[in-house]
Amino acid sequence: MRVAVYYSNDDLRLEERPIPKISSQEILLRVEAAGICGSDVMEWYRRDKAPLVLGHEIAGTIEEVGTKVRNYKKGDRITCAHHVPCDRCKYCLSGHQTVCETLRKTNIDPGGFAEFVRLPEANVKKGVFILPESVSFEEATFVEPLACVLRAQRLAGGVEGKSILVIGSGISGILHIHFARICGASFIVAVDISEFRLDAAKRFGADVSIYAKDYTAELGRRLNQQRLFELVIVATSAPSAILQAFESVERGGTVLFFAPCEPGVKIPVAFNELFWRTEIGFVSSYAATPHEYQEALDFIARGNLRLKEMITHRLDLSEIGLGFKLVVEARDSLKVIVYPTGGSYYGLGNAKQDEPYL
Ligand SMILES: [Zn+2]
Ligand SMILES: [Zn+2]
């Protein structure tokens, strides 16, 4: 089978590997669509582990099930969780399943940028989600990123009725904006350095979008009826965004950190100005639980998220190098989707016919 092997952000190679063999409790999935995630291009995080096959936002058709797999069969259209929790440890039992050791160790084999992946037993038990007919494969690649957004906003205390500042309007910022709009946020301001993304932010639900160099907390306050923001979401790795977030959060509000910085970055804090008599909260979130995958899928199936419009590039697996370049550049792209098997099962069932390529 064809796999795209990651060596670095500008070195992805198409290689041949044997199709994974499955045991009695496992599933072999034919990957129909795989999204490139912002975390895939975090070179400092990925490069030490290279060469490796990335890709965790995937959807496909079950090609084969092990003899002891009961709930799924060949031909089922699914998405899957690459990480699944144990549901027994202290972290899991306190609602922090995504920091569970098991969750960190589980993974699909070899990764989604391949024609086929093997889902190990733990993933088959907890991380397989049948796609309703109305959800296409490419829409299903949004289940994982949307599940992460849903979890993050929940950990941040929800968005209903809140004024929200989203710093960084790449695909994760856009998903935050779109989802917050649908969940009843009262006022949303988006910040980015790309005109293309600022336009997109408005299309997907921001009331105002501002070029990052022009943004100040004072401007934010003027726009938001003389108040700072009840929720500030940092969806970019720029340290300057974190400082802007500190300056922009209203008393009693929350800052949600949704993206890491480069390693080693330290953020100086004017401690009293920030914390004394402010009752602000900081929340970070990582990944999502199987329950949140299901919730995200249910949201998508209801059909009121405009996900297909977020897809700017559809590429064959052989073009994955271009896909990574687009995501690294972070300019005129939002969601970039790769088709490891050429998208040949497009429109299966009643799924809307998607354009295979731009
Ligand atoms: Zn992702
Ligand atoms: Zn656990």
Taking the complete model, does pTM exceed 0.75, yes or no?
Answer: yes
Ligand approaching nearest to the C-alpha of 171:
1
Taking the centre of ligand 2 as the mean of its atom positions, its distance from the CA of residue 103, in whole angstroms, is 7
Taking only the tens place, the pLDDT of each residue in 267-287 is 999 999 999 999 999 999 999
Taking the centre of ligand 1 as the mean of its atom positions, its distance from the CA of residue 298, in whole angstroms, is 18
Is 358 a residue whose pLDDT tops 90?
A: no
Taking the centre of ligand 1 as the mean of its atom positions, its distance from the CA of residue 346, in whole angstroms, is 22
Taking the centre of ligand 2 as the mean of its atom positions, its distance from the CA of residue 84, in whole angstroms, is 9
Ligand approaching nearest to the C-alpha of 287:
1
Is 78 a residue whose pLDDT tops 90?
A: yes
Taking the centre of ligand 1 as the mean of its atom positions, its distance from the CA of residue 109, in whole angstroms, is 16
Is 16 a residue whose pLDDT tops 50?
A: yes
Provide the pLDDT for residue 258. Answer: 97
* Residue 340 main-chain phi, psi, to 5 deg: -65, -30
Taking the centre of ligand 2 as the mean of its atom positions, its distance from the CA of residue 277, in whole angstroms, is 36
Provide the pLDDT for residue 313. Answer: 94
Task: Tell the CATH topology of 2-143+287-339.
Answer: Quinone Oxidoreductase; Chain A, domain 1 (3.90.180)
| % the chain with pLDDT above 70 | 96
What top-level class would CATH report for the domain 157-284? alpha beta
Give the CA distances from residue 234 to residues 170, 176, 327, in Å, rounded to whole numbers and listed in that order.
Answer: 11, 10, 18
Give the CA distances from residue 150 to residues 18, 75, 101, 138, 146, in Å, rounded to whole numbers and listed in that order.
Answer: 37, 29, 22, 19, 6
pLDDT range class, residue 345, cuts 50, 70, 90:
very low
Taking only the tens place, the pLDDT of each residue in 304-322 is 999 999 999 999 999 999 9
Taking the centre of ligand 1 as the mean of its atom positions, its distance from the CA of residue 38, in whole angstroms, is 7
HSE-CB of 62 using CA atoms within 13 angstroms: 23
Taking the centre of ligand 2 as the mean of its atom positions, its distance from the CA of residue 333, in whole angstroms, is 36
Provide the pLDDT for residue 250. Answer: 98
* Residue 181 main-chain phi, psi, to 5 deg: -60, -45
Question: Whole-angstrom Cα distance, residue 125 to residue 112?
Answer: 19
Taking the centre of ligand 2 as the mean of its atom positions, its distance from the CA of residue 292, in whole angstroms, is 16
| Residues 66-75, mean pLDDT to the nearest whole number | 97
Taking the centre of ligand 2 as the mean of its atom positions, its distance from the CA of residue 94, in whole angstroms, is 9
Residues of the chain with CATH 3.90.180.10: 2-143+287-339
Taking the centre of ligand 2 as the mean of its atom positions, its distance from the CA of residue 40, in whole angstroms, is 24
HSE-CB of 238 using CA atoms within 13 angstroms: 17
Taking the centre of ligand 1 as the mean of its atom positions, its distance from the CA of residue 37, in whole angstroms, is 4
Taking the centre of ligand 2 as the mean of its atom positions, its distance from the CA of residue 89, in whole angstroms, is 4
- Nearest Cα neighbor of 273 from 247, 255, 252, 254 is 247
Taking the centre of ligand 2 as the mean of its atom positions, its distance from the CA of residue 260, in whole angstroms, is 23
Taking only the tens place, the pLDDT of each residue in 236-272 is 999 999 999 999 999 999 999 999 999 999 999 999 9
| Residues 103-123, mean pLDDT to the nearest whole number | 97
Taking the centre of ligand 2 as the mean of its atom positions, its distance from the CA of residue 230, in whole angstroms, is 32
Residues of the chain with CATH 3.40.50.720: 157-284
Ligand approaching nearest to the C-alpha of 85:
2
Could you tell me which residue, 356 or 78, shows the higher pLDDT?
78
Taking only the tens place, the pLDDT of each residue in 141-157 is 999 999 999 999 999 99
Taking the centre of ligand 1 as the mean of its atom positions, its distance from the CA of residue 56, in whole angstroms, is 6
Q: Are residues 217 and 228 in contact, defined by beta-carbon separation less than 8 angstroms?
A: yes
- What integer best gives the mean pLDDT of the chain? 94
Taking only the tens place, the pLDDT of each residue in 48-64 is 999 999 999 999 999 99
Provide the pLDDT for residue 343. Answer: 55
